[in-house]
Structure formats: structure tokens, C-alpha cells
Amino acid sequence: MRKDTKLIETREPNIEEKERGAEIVFIREDINGEEYTILGSACYESWEQWGVKREVLGDNVEDIEQWRQNIW
């Protein structure tokens, strides 16, 4: 599957992001250099992510899946 963005960073959330429920932050970038900040958290045995348009969230599914598997 072709992705329109690439993962450039993962990091711990800052205070504001934690207050919004984030446990992890993913930064993705498109070919034009625009950056997208995705907030994520564990949700029972799965995960949830938010903060950007659906297409960018779709690009991030494999990365958040991998993160979720590694926190078990």
C-alpha cells in the first residue's frame, strides 16, 4: 500500500498532549514538507489515534500497531 506521508519521529507527549489523553506522539511528513502530529493511546487491547485527517491516520496504522504491541 502506498503511503502519502512518512514517519519522521515518535516521542513522548508534552503536558498539553498528555492532558488530551495522548500516551505517544507520531510526527509524519508529506512530500511537500508539511508535518502532521498524531496523538495516540492504548485502548484496552487495541489503540486509538487522532489529531489529523483520516488519510494521514491511515498511513500511521502500521506504526501505532507496532507501538501498541511493544507496550505489552
Note the pTM of the prediction, 2 decimals: 0.93
Measured distance CA(22)–CA(13) in Å, rounded: 6
Report helix, strand or coil for 59. Answer: helix
Please state the domain extents for the chain: 5-70
Label residue 28 exposed, middle or buried (CB < 10 Å: 0-12, 13-18, 19+). Answer: buried
Q: What is the pLDDT of residues 6-52, one digit of tens each?
A: 999 999 999 999 999 999 999 999 999 999 999 999 999 899 999 99
Q: Are residues 27 and 7 in contact, defined by beta-carbon separation less than 8 angstroms?
A: yes
